[in-house]
Amino acid sequence: MNIIQQIAIIAPPLLFALTIHEYSHGYVASRLGDPTAKAMGRLTLNPLKHLDPLGVLAFIIMKIGWAKPIPVDPRYFKNPLKDMLWVALAGPAANLMTAVASSLFAQLLAAFAAFIPKAALLPLFQMAAASIWINIIFAIFNLLPIPPLDGSKVLMGLLPPRYAASFARIEPFGFIILLALFYTGILQKVLLPIISFAEKIIAG
């Protein structure tokens, strides 16, 4: 498979994974009373509204990426720390549900393979497989408790307010921490077994 074919297979599930992740953050925030994402035109399934060029480049190079963070203003929430926990969980949860849906789609393709033109069957199956893999990576990577990833906000929602405030102070250094963990190989050693395990469960 050449590079153009690879991009054609990976691009649709990648764009959808990024979009559904950020849209889910905005949707839950909106339901909890925050109108910021909607007011800024980010409560949409248009992928162009959510793309972060650096995050896409990181995915191409490191196989770990991100989208442009959805704007959330916790001041609208009744319980900012706890409500941010649910907003943070929404993105990874949406990715996991998309991975499960992609697995079901792949099984349907296999079941009805005899009725699908061969020219379409393989690309569709490859897209479904890529969608499973990409969405699992996004879900698990974003659950890491390192600012500004979703897992850090989940952790802050579980910690007592005093400790949550102290933990939040490391956010300016989060990207440096992630790069250090990646280039030392620690990130891969921690994530790859979890990703492989999740993929076996979801993809069967």
Find the catalytic residue in 22, 83, 150, 199: 22
Q: What one-letter code names the amino acid at 154?
A: V
Q: At what angle do helices 3-31 and 118-142 cross, to 10 degrees?
A: 50
Contact residues for 191 (Cβ-Cβ < 8 A; gap 6+): 64, 137, 140, 141, 144
Burial class of residue 60 (count of CB atoms within 10 Å of its CB; 0-12, 13-18, 19+): exposed
Q: What one-letter code names the amino acid at 183?
A: Y
Omega prior to 148 cis, within 30 of 0: yes
Instruction: Round to whole Å and give the CA distance between 133 and 115.
Output: 26
Active-site residue, 22 included: yes
Instruction: Round to whole Å and give the CA distance between 199 and 103.
Output: 10
From residue 25, how far is each of 19, 89, 151, 202 by CA, in Å? 10, 8, 13, 23
Length of the chain: 204
Supply 139's token pair: 């879900």
Q: At what angle do helices 80-111 and 118-142 cross, to 10 degrees?
A: 160
> Any idea which residues carry the catalytic annotation?
22
